[in-house]
Structure 1
């Protein structure tokens, strides 16, 4: 377990404290147990070391970055782009749903079971009451057993409903194909994974193919999957990680800005909004928590000690992804960080 080195000089606001309290309750409850179980279940599917373990999770750029924003769409940090005009990653994010985590889990599974250039084979059922794994074992939820006898609601049944809702969201974004008709039994069984471009591609959607080396993709550290960060991070934190790892449209080179290091990115507000679909408030909150969790390093430019801007400066934060941060067990790391910030 890494030593926690946090900036506590600013403390938590009342809103942040309330949010952390709720998050702590969830992570120490059934959701935390489910997150650990989902991580173990996916690792159990590993065979011989393959693409995911040797390189990390490959994600095509157009999942996170919209190459051609919708022209004429009025956006600002007060009015973020409508969901229909965002890249798939931020189109499907939710504070309570599982669509984003479901899709990234499916990408990871595809890269465990299939070589680059191969069409993804998702050879497990949505849920199962046998000893075999199903998708309900690979995605974390807060589902608990309720009721008694005939009126009892099994955890797997609740998980299946959560996954069904997630798959409906993914189908709408053209990220999966569902073989069954709406309202019909078996609608979600045997779903197939579609290319990360989702709604952006006209005509028939493309089936998902594990990315080849020469394709336009970026990677997330393997620990994002194997240490369970995928399950314990909020959707807003995941999409920010995707944006930082993607680096497209950001200031990255010394020639673009003399005060930026090769490992850093700086995301202009219009790019963050129009190309990544990330509003200022979730960006600011996610940037801070990911830094506390040890996944990002943030270098603030022209800021006072308390974080306020000097002379109304608007220079961009320099942000670096910290691959070593993903090597720690996510659930333990986040629990300890939250407890530390709350003074527990």
Structure 2
């Protein structure tokens, strides 16, 4: 677990980035561009969910793990988990690419990407306008990089990482514009250098998970951390493709199927504070993950039960900022007590209507 000082520094940096994105109008611009993308996509179709192939987030057959706390080694993880990184925007960019594909291609069809990285006079949309990344001005040195240049660099580095993970390819590699008209490869993660598999929008009957379109249009894709995002995808899978009669995931399943370590699992605290999930905690489980009087024989596993809420339909920035400020003040995750009804609910008191 990070120290209190390190955690506070991360929260401050996250708040600073969120404030910059909101005050500069970037989040509103991105939301407007998503609306345009949906409106000028497939005629007569309205995208309600973005379907991910199940193997994007979860191995069909669990891999053996040495320690479930650590999850799988990176090269053995499913594609979504492999994109978790403290820096860079590869994970969120890939999800936004899949969102764009759903807007512009029918199920079962390939997506012809014609969106440029930077805006120009011939295009309404650009990848710079579709990703809400906070790119700072870089002073000093021999070259001064503007926020625009830094953001373009972030996107280019993310594209290269996605290529390295066999999630897209560069048909114009080796030219003066290597990233132009890049092509998505299948999100199953089954492509190789020798045998790339073109991406096709999944049909409804294909095994997968449906990500609500509001995850994109309401800003969550740009404001959750990579670990929070992949954990949210895990809980979507647990709900939509249940393996148990209750919504939980064991440590072995979380590590062997999803490839995730305990740090990613513990984001259930932030996801609950943001209002995306509700958590029914295991009563005998301590905060460090250990159990009281645990017996493996009989009974249900001592795991938190997690259910999805409709919180994804809320504006992400408005939901996240007060939670971060409360954590900065108290050092604990929780939903802000912004009203008397919230306070009553936290105390188990029912107020008559």
Q: TM-score, normalised by structure 1?
A: 0.82
* 8 Å CA contact retained: 2:72, 2:255: yes
Instruction: Return the alpha-carbon distance in structure 1 between the equivalents of residues 117 and 14 of structure 2.
Output: 27
Instruction: Return the alpha-carbon distance in structure 1 between the equivalents of residues 27 and 120 of structure 2.
Output: 19
CA-to-aligned-CA distance 1:206-264 (integer Å, 9 cap, x gap): 2111111211111112210110100000000010111111129986443xxxxx3xxxx
Instruction: Return the alpha-carbon distance in structure 2 between the equivalents of residues 251 and 190 of structure 1.
Output: 38
| Counterpart check, 1:65 vs 2:51 | no
User: 1:147 offset after TM fit, Å?
Assistant: 5.7
| Counterpart check, 1:172 vs 2:164 | yes
Q: Residue 273 of structure 1 is aligned with which of 255, 259, 267? A: 255
CA distance change for structure 1 residues 202 and 216 in 2, over 3 Å: closer, same or farther? farther
Q: Unpaired runs of 5+ in structure 2?
A: 295-300, 331-353
| Counterpart check, 1:295 vs 2:281 | no
* 8 Å CA contact retained: 2:38, 2:47: no
Instruction: Return the alpha-carbon distance in structure 2 between the equivalents of residues 212 and 32 of structure 1.
Output: 39
Paired residues for 1:150-169 under 5 Å? 152-169=144-161
CA distance change for structure 1 residues 209 and 25 in 2, over 3 Å: closer, same or farther? same
CA distance change for structure 1 residues 317 and 333 in 2, over 3 Å: closer, same or farther? same
Q: Tell me, what secondary structure is at the counterpart of 2:38?
A: coil
* 8 Å CA contact retained: 1:117, 1:209: yes
CA distance change for structure 1 residues 54 and 338 in 2, over 3 Å: closer, same or farther? same
CA distance change for structure 1 residues 244 and 78 in 2, over 3 Å: closer, same or farther? closer
Structure-1 residue corresponding to 2:302: 315
User: 1:121 offset after TM fit, Å?
Assistant: 2.0
* 8 Å CA contact retained: 1:93, 1:236: yes
Q: Tell me, what secondary structure is at the counterpart of 1:28?
A: helix
Query: What is the number of residues matched between the two proteins?
Result: 318
User: 1:301 offset after TM fit, Å?
Assistant: 1.7
Q: Residue 213 of structure 2 is aligned with which of 219, 222, 246? A: 222
CA-to-aligned-CA distance 1:51-80 (integer Å, 9 cap, x gap): 99553221110100112345xx54313543
Paired residues for 1:245-264 under 5 Å? 245-247=236-238, 252-254=243-245, 260=246
Instruction: Return the alpha-carbon distance in structure 2 between the equivalents of residues 151 and 16 of structure 1.
Output: 33
Instruction: Return the alpha-carbon distance in structure 2 between the equivalents of residues 281 and 126 of structure 1.
Output: 33
User: 1:270 offset after TM fit, Å?
Assistant: 1.3
| Counterpart check, 1:135 vs 2:142 | no
* 8 Å CA contact retained: 1:124, 1:133: yes
* 8 Å CA contact retained: 1:36, 1:228: no
Cα RMSD of the aligned pairs, angstroms, is 3.1
Q: Tell me, what secondary structure is at the counterpart of 2:52?
A: strand
Structure-2 residue corresponding to 1:342: 328
Q: TM-score, normalised by structure 2?
A: 0.80
| Counterpart check, 1:26 vs 2:17 | yes
CA-to-aligned-CA distance 1:177-230 (integer Å, 9 cap, x gap): 112336x52111110111111246796122111111211111112210110100
User: 1:146 offset after TM fit, Å?
Assistant: 5.0
Q: In terms of mean alpha carbon deviation, does 299-308 or 125-134 score higher? A: 299-308
* 8 Å CA contact retained: 2:239, 2:307: no
Instruction: Return the alpha-carbon distance in structure 2 between the equivalents of residues 32 and 240 of structure 1.
Output: 28
Instruction: Return the alpha-carbon distance in structure 2 between the equivalents of residues 102 and 250 of structure 1.
Output: 25
Instruction: Return the alpha-carbon distance in structure 2 between the equivalents of residues 329 and 147 of structure 1.
Output: 33
